[in-house]
Amino acid sequence: MNALHKNVSIELQTMIEEDGAKESNKQKHTGKYYKRNNLDVLTYEETSDDKSVIHNLITIQQNKVSIKRSGNVRMNQQFREGQITENVFYHPHGGIHMETYTETIHYQSNEESGSLTIDYKVKLNGQEERNQEIKLSFKEEESK
């Protein structure tokens, strides 16, 4: 049972396409990367606009990714290639029901870095479906 953990820099880009309009968001974080057998895990914290801390836990397995957020916002979004999953995104103003259809998951990693791309469609509170994409990359931080 060979385990590995490292400090990493993370770049997360999300893209949303709705009614022909595209919106993109890019974030950079430092976090931790863990690998044990066929399970890869990334953890990092982000600070929201109201200065509260949101904890992020991304679990990556073959054809399955889970993004769990806790703090001022909470969700546990599951991505399973070719399947529909559901969850509720909680924020200070209430909850939003999310229905997600995962089209593709591409993941590559080695000892120093990795990249994850998820293409999916999502319906929020039963509204019109929209296309979304998550691109996440990470690399080991240089030792100081």
Domains of the chain: 3-140 (2.40.128.20)
pTM more than 0.95: no
- Is it the case that residue 143 has pLDDT exceeding 70? no
Nearest to 138 by CA among 102, 105, 110, 104: 110
Q: What is the mean pLDDT of the chain?
A: 93
pLDDT in tens, 24-49: 999 999 999 999 888 999 999 998 88
pLDDT of residue 20: 84
CA angle 67, 71, 72 (to 5 degrees): 110
- Is it the case that residue 1 has pLDDT exceeding 50? no
pLDDT of residue 142: 78
Instruction: Report, as an integer, the average pLDDT of 3-18.
Output: 92
Residues contacting residue 6 through CB under 8 Å, at least 6 positions apart:
32, 33, 140, 141
